[in-house]
């Protein structure tokens, strides 16, 4: 169990800014139909008052001891409100007054001259319904091998693999990686919290008995299972010796890798390769690459999913060499 928890702690969710997460999670229709004016106290304007806000801590801290709201910002609160309510609030549209020292309660008041009026009381990272976080519940094609899909003896494996695709379609999950970790750990003890039936997965956060978990509610997500024929890291990258490069920056490394191996990746642009490839270092400082989990192009997996599905790390991570 100790080893498993260690791997869970290495789950491949990265902490990014809320603005980047929100931007990635919105569709064109949502962009076109944003609420750009109105009374903040009107349910038609702010219907969701319990919102997720970026806590602005490192991935290590988030997945270690966890994080409180001490580092949240006004910009993050506005972004959280916009994400949950499809509003187009700007930071200059509102004044924010916290109602407790924990910064879990705040009063939002429209400023003079804003297209918004009135006030609303909100809760921050407190009793947030999962339905107001995972907005994309029809995630389309997911790539899980037919053998794994047919083996219903380990539903936790299927559920964990599916979570990779759910995260890809709902990037906001990156800023609540600690909550997902708690939920994933709990699901091993309470299997009913994560159920896969046919091409549906139900996540029940109400079964998570942890005072540090602020996510509540239950949600069902639909998908289409496809056999996993995605391009593997070994198929895409056959030349791992980059030679001498200008610096050890991620973009420099990936641009050189693509240049050396683009013949293996027909119809895949340099931009797509860079966007979907991670550069990291092991404990000895040696560089390796792996693909982002949950995409439709490349076969990448988070550490937790790879462990549970008994996927050898050598099949998803590739050492690279270079000099600067």
Q: Provide the pLDDT for residue 161.
A: 92
Please write the tens of the pLDDT for every residue from 69-118: 999 999 999 999 999 999 999 999 999 999 999 999 999 999 999 999 99
Give the confidence band of 121 by pLDDT, cuts at 50, 70, 90.
Answer: very high
What residues does 87 pair with on adjacent strands? 35
* Residues 304, 184 contacting (CB under 8 angstroms): yes
Would strands 287-291 and 277-281 be described as parallel, antiparallel, or unpaired?
antiparallel
Q: Provide the pLDDT for residue 213.
A: 92
Percent of the chain with pLDDT over 70: 90
Q: 303, 258, 304, 305: which is closest to 277 by C-alpha?
A: 258
pTM assigned to the model: 0.84
Give the confidence band of 26 by pLDDT, cuts at 50, 70, 90.
Answer: low
Distance from the Cα of residue 159 to its chain's centroid: 15
CA distance 266 to 295: 17
The residues, any chain, with a CB within 8 Å of residue 210's CB and separated by 6 or more, are 182, 186
How open is the CA angle 241-7-137, to the nearest 5 degrees? 95
- Side-chain-side CA neighbours of 263 within 13 Å: the count stands at 3
How far, in Å, are 55, 78, 314 from residue 177 at the CA level? 11, 20, 25
Would strands 218-226 and 200-204 be described as parallel, antiparallel, or unpaired?
antiparallel
The residues, any chain, with a CB within 8 Å of residue 117's CB and separated by 6 or more, are 38, 39, 40, 110
* Residues 135, 221 contacting (CB under 8 angstroms): no
Q: Provide the pLDDT for residue 181.
A: 84
* Residues 166, 318 contacting (CB under 8 angstroms): no
More confident residue, 17 or 298: 298
């Amino acid at each position: 169990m100790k080893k498993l928890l260690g791997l869970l702690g290495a789950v491949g969710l990265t902490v990014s800014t809320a603005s980047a997460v929100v931007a990635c999670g919105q569709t064109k229709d949502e962009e076109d139909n944003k609420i750009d004016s109105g009374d903040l106290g009107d349910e038609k304007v702010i219907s969701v008052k319990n919102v997720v806000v970026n806590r602005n801590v490192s991935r290590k801290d988030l997945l270690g001891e966890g994080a409180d709201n001490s580092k949240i910002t006004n910009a993050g609160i506005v972004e959280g409100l916009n994400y949950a309510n499809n509003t187009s609030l700007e930071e200059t549209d509102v004044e924010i007054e916290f109602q407790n020292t924990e910064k879990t309660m705040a009063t939002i008041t429209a400023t003079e001259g804003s297209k918004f009026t009135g006030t609303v009381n909100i809760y921050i990272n407190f009793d947030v319904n999962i339905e107001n976080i995972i907005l994309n519940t029809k995630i389309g094609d997911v790539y899980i091998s037919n053998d794994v899909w047919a083996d219903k003896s380990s539903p936790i494996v299927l559920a964990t693999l599916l979570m990779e695709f759910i995260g890809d379609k709902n990037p906001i999950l990156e800023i609540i990686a600690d909550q997902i970790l708690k939920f994933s750990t709990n699901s091993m003890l309470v299997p009913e919290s994560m159920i896969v039936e046919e091409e549906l997965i139900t996540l029940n956060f109400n079964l998570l008995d942890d005072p540090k978990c602020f996510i509540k509610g239950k949600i069902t997500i639909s998908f289409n299972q496809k056999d996993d024929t995605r391009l593997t890291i070994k198929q895409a990258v056959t030349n791992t010796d980059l030679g001498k490069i200008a610096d050890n920056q991620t973009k420099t490394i990936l641009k050189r890798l693509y240049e050396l191996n683009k013949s293996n990746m027909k119809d895949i642009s340099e931009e797509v390769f860079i966007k979907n490839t991670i550069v990291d270092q092991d404990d000895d400082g040696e560089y390796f690459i792996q693909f982002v989990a949950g995409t439709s192009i490349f076969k990448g997996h988070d550490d937790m999913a790879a462990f549970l599905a008994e996927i050898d790390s050598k099949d998803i991570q590739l050492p690279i060499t270079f000099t600067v």
